[in-house]
Amino acid sequence: MEAYAVIETGGKQYRVEKDTVLSIELLEDSEAGKVIEFDQVLAVSNGSELTIGAPVVAGAKVTATVVENYRGDKVVAFKKKRRQGYRKKIGHRQELTKIKIESIKA
């Protein structure tokens, strides 16, 4: 089994392995090619044993490279009340950062 880690960023938790590419909520001050480190590592596995933090694993870091910043697909929220003539349409596009996991250190 591969080594993996569970990290927290943007209020969400992600299970990551080396060379994983994933989209997370926008990170401030992140341009393409920049190397970032995640200190909020909740769990780390080396392939055979699992270390769970309380709440984080001490000394564990996950290093990633920013691939790009982009905006996600539009999500449309539509509200309607029948027979009242009330209709409301609201759209939202979330700003995202695509990262590639380079290394997991425990």
pLDDT of residue 106: 82
pLDDT of residue 25: 96
Burial classification of residue 5, based on how many CB atoms lie within 10 Å of its CB (0-12 exposed, 13-18 middle, 19 or more buried): buried
Measured CA to CA, the distance from residue 102 to residue 90 in angstroms comes to 38
Per-residue pLDDT of the chain (106 residues; tens, 9 = 90+): 789 999 999 999 999 999 999 999 999 888 999 999 999 999 999 888 999 999 999 999 999 999 999 999 999 999 999 999 999 999 999 999 999 999 999 8
> Rounded to the nearest 10 degrees, how much is the dihedral formed by the CA atoms of 19, 24, 29, 34?
10
pLDDT of residue 47: 83
